[in-house]
Structure 1
Amino acid sequence: MAEALFTLASTGTPGLRFDGDDPRLAAAAWSRIAEPGDPVAGALVGHLGVVEALAWLVDAARDPSQVPVADLAGVRPASAERLAQAVARWAPRLGSLDPRRELRVLERCEGTLLVPGDERWPDGLAGLGAAAPFALWVRGNADLSTWARRSVALVGARASTAYGERVAANLACGLVDRGFAVVSGGAYGIDAAAHSGALAAEGVTCAVMAGGVDRFYPQGNDDLLRQVLATGTVLSEVPPGSAPFRQRFLARNRLIAALTGATVVVEAAHRSGALSTARHAVQLHRPVGAVPGPVTSMASAGCHALLRDGAAVCVTGAEDVAELAGAMGDDAAAAERSAPVGPRDGLDPDERMLWDALPVRSGATTDSVAASAGLAPRRVMTLLGSFERRGLARRDGARWVRGS
């Protein structure tokens, strides 16, 4: 949670080319003015309100060297310095600010603008505090508050292996079967495999973009992201026309973690960006899972580090993930995993000794089997009859061999 910068707000009338008193336009404007996750902007808007904060910024931008902190009661010197630095960052974007134009682009994409307070705004984003987005630019299914309540983030490396992609797709399929939406970043590798698995299972999947939703990135995933859009959601916290770059990718990861009930890292190297999603989930007190890989695989080294450090729990199937992200009791994994049934399963002690004593290839007489098993010949004859009926033993003349 960011430090509070002030305690009392003042209002003003911004000199803008659009109606700055419209809260939706003001929220859209702030999504262009401040970079994603800017805690100073979040604190300013949180204390002043989105409209009043925009008016204050316009006043401050007229002379960035004289930021009007006098309008804000309770500002400490250190906070005033942070505000002055922030105004210097934000002011250059005011000249070209036109959220109405960006909303027209969104409308042409048949998209929706969501702002805090909307019924469809996802509750989980509140955990981000001052780093929460000012608005979400959404294409496709805009009812985020519904599907986000039961959702899981599946993330991982772009440079993935066939093992990681197979696991990601299988997890996504299994989660869809259990009624979960699958959220990822739309990138190559694990992200793409997760989206593809959810689509194959005809479930809801959401791609969170680092750039504007008007142009899909990476371009090589354009077809996949259009499939996501057809049945699920593509969203971003930056307006149409915004370019994706490294800092926005890293900031995007906090949204993925905050939108969902749990984050699972399927495959990640030591320096993978997917690990930042896991760190955000930990900070938000959301469960984190990691899929183990071969100990010799550098592609899984980040997952193993999460497990070693206790930041994540080991997950190997959709039932594990559902237990992490789902409702207590309803989604609990079975206490005991079902294992392949072997021929010795269900045998009583005498039967197990007889089974172990039966030869696999060359037959043995009843007396010989009884001696090997340490059982009375009459008892062995009775058990052999039962074994024969159950296919556990086969008679070869006067001799007995183990059944197939």
Structure 2
Amino acid sequence: MSGTAAGERLARAALSRLTEPGDERVGRWLRTMEPAELVRGLTGTGPPPPGAGAERLAGCRARARTLDPEGDLRAVARLGGRYVCPGDTEWPAQLDDLGDARPLGLWVRGSPDLRLWALRSVALVGARACTGYGSHVAALLGGGLAERGWVVVSGAAYGIDGAAHRGALAAGGATVAVLASGLDVAYPRGHAELLGRIGEQGIVLTELPPGGHPTRHRFVLRNRVIAALTRGTVVVEAEYRSGSLVTARHARRLGRHTMGVPGPVTSGLSAGVHELLREGACLVTDADDVVELVGGIGELGPERRGPVVPRDLLPPTAARVLEALPGRGGAPVARVAHDAGTSEERALASLYELRALGFVERQGDLWQLADGSSTSVEAKPPDGTPVCGEAVLDLG
């Protein structure tokens, strides 16, 4: 690690314990003050920063009683981690888009280079109490993106987050967990093993120093880091009041791609995603859709179309002649030619071609559809009463 002086790193580590993540007032102070100067001002060993209220200063001085940034750095080093600061070569520059809410630094565990991984990353987030459908889709997306060389970023929570991480790990791919607690605090506890695997195979990071415990407020602020770090955010299942929607809306404000996976309209867990789609997020259904949006020029998903059936391969005239035959009974060549908009000679040639292919058969002077090749059926209720004048439903 290089780029940040040891004294500034130490001061930023101290500020991460004195202040809360995403505090824009702290960001404004750092525009005109050095980190060490701000630490002295907040702890009472120097002039207080401009506009600092008595309550804030009292809170910082209470925290300062146990302040030990050198000990925090050593504790994280024992975990195999490090403290990455703005100015380091490993610092992801896209986090600067957060302005005054930019992290003071990131406590990071995992050997890969965070900046390089973040350049090609996608956030997958969603409901904690997800359905089996949501968990399945998140795992498929995580695995699919990992197989295509993308880093999957999420919050390591139960539900969609955990499924996305596991999908990426199962594919032997890269994944990053962004925590709302210290690196040494496994939260949720049930994901301790998962977080261990991510730390070995990927990256775990947080704004909070060792021992930092999660709170509702910190989860909300954590979401802005997920949004800023990645090229786009995909939401898989979310209710109207969901932290996942906060992440997606942060991403949209930052100019990142926002995406949603649709679900059943009868499920409350689909409501938030569908509202996001109504607001202009892109609908995605698999990793190819996601990569087409967030990837570079030429990273296009496959063409979406139904299966090719034999009649799709017919020449245009033969296809019109086939469609001109009645659904029941037969018709003479003259009528078929009229309905197909072609000459009798062309119609007859096409009919013989269609007979060779098994689509039609001849009965005397009449031509009719062969058994099993009917292209339409009359829509009638069970009692056989015609509907809308014998309405025809195309089954081709």
TM-score, with length taken from structure 1: 0.80
1:341 aligns with 2:308: yes
CA distance in 1, matches of 2:272, 2:148: 27
1:149 aligns with 2:99: no
Question: Partner of 1:345: helix, strand, or coil?
Answer: helix
Question: Partner of 1:322: helix, strand, or coil?
Answer: helix
1:322 aligns with 2:291: yes
Bigger shift: residues 348-357 or 142-151: 348-357
**What is the deviation of 1:121?**
0.9
**What is the deviation of 1:371?**
7.8
CA distance in 2, matches of 1:216, 1:139: 13
Contact 1:290 1:303 in 2 (8 A): yes
Contact 1:186 1:207 in 2 (8 A): yes
Question: Partner of 1:120: helix, strand, or coil?
Answer: coil
**What is the deviation of 1:30?**
1.1
Bigger shift: residues 49-58 or 363-372: 363-372
* Equivalent position to 1:393, from 359, 370, 392: 359
1:350 aligns with 2:335: no
* Structure 1 residue aligned with 2:26: 41
* Structure 1 residue aligned with 2:153: 183
* Equivalent position to 2:57, from 81, 87, 102: 87
1:261 aligns with 2:231: yes
Change (3 A) 1:345 1:403: same
Change (3 A) 1:60 1:169: same
* Equivalent position to 1:159, from 129, 134, 138: 129
CA distance in 2, matches of 1:21, 1:109: 20
Bigger shift: residues 20-29 or 168-177: 20-29
CA distance in 2, matches of 1:216, 1:262: 26
Amino acid of the residue matched to residue 47 of structure 1?
A: T
Q: Note the 1:257-296 alignment, pairs <5 A.
A: 257-296=227-266
Change (3 A) 1:221 1:354: farther
Q: Note the 1:148-227 alignment, pairs <5 A.
A: 148-227=118-197
Change (3 A) 1:302 1:60: farther
Contact 2:224 2:247 in 1 (8 A): yes
* Structure 2 residue aligned with 1:50: 35
What is the RMSD computed on CA atoms of the aligned residues? Answer: 3.0
CA distance in 1, matches of 2:138, 2:331: 54
**What is the deviation of 1:151?**
0.8
TM-score, with length taken from structure 2: 0.81
Question: Partner of 2:310: helix, strand, or coil?
Answer: coil
Deviation readout 1:277-302 (Å, 9 max, x if unpaired): 11221222222112222222110111
1:237 aligns with 2:222: no
Q: Note the 1:9-48 alignment, pairs <5 A.
A: 22-48=7-33
* Structure 2 residue aligned with 1:64: none
Deviation readout 1:60-82 (Å, 9 max, x if unpaired): 68xxxxxx45xx6xx5xxxx2x4
CA distance in 2, matches of 1:396, 1:101: 92
CA distance in 2, matches of 1:392, 1:235: 65
* Structure 2 residue aligned with 1:15: none
* Structure 1 residue aligned with 2:88: 118
CA distance in 1, matches of 2:135, 2:106: 29
Contact 1:358 1:401 in 2 (8 A): no
CA distance in 2, matches of 1:305, 1:298: 11
**What is the deviation of 1:376?**
6.9
Change (3 A) 1:394 1:225: farther
Contact 2:321 2:337 in 1 (8 A): no
What is the identity percentage for the equivalent residue pairs of Structure 1 and Structure 2? 47
Contact 1:40 1:83 in 2 (8 A): no
**What is the deviation of 1:236?**
0.9
Contact 1:370 1:376 in 2 (8 A): no
Structure ranking higher on relative contact order (CA contacts 8 Å, 6+ apart): 1
**What is the deviation of 1:350?**
2.6
Deviation readout 1:176-201 (Å, 9 max, x if unpaired): 23321110000111111111221222
CA distance in 1, matches of 2:98, 2:292: 24
**What is the deviation of 1:384?**
5.2
Amino acid of the residue matched to residue 205 of structure 2?
A: L
CA distance in 1, matches of 2:123, 2:285: 15
**What is the deviation of 1:171?**
2.0
Deviation readout 1:119-170 (Å, 9 max, x if unpaired): 1111111011221111211111341110101111111110111222222222
CA distance in 1, matches of 2:344, 2:191: 71
Contact 2:185 2:212 in 1 (8 A): no
Amino acid of the residue matched to residue 166 of structure 2?
A: S
Change (3 A) 1:159 1:59: same
Contact 1:171 1:317 in 2 (8 A): yes
CA distance in 2, matches of 1:200, 1:28: 34
CA distance in 2, matches of 1:45, 1:277: 25
* Structure 2 residue aligned with 1:133: 103
Contact 2:153 2:178 in 1 (8 A): yes
CA distance in 2, matches of 1:313, 1:222: 33
Amino acid of the residue matched to residue 76 of structure 2?
A: L
Change (3 A) 1:228 1:357: farther
Contact 1:359 1:402 in 2 (8 A): no
Amino acid of the residue matched to residue 193 of structure 2?
A: D
Bigger shift: residues 114-123 or 51-60: 51-60
CA distance in 2, matches of 1:224, 1:164: 19
Amino acid of the residue matched to residue 66 of structure 2?
A: S
Amino acid of the residue matched to residue 208 of structure 1?
A: V
Question: Partner of 1:282: helix, strand, or coil?
Answer: helix
Amino acid of the residue matched to residue 285 of structure 2?
A: T
Change (3 A) 1:396 1:347: closer
1:103 aligns with 2:73: yes
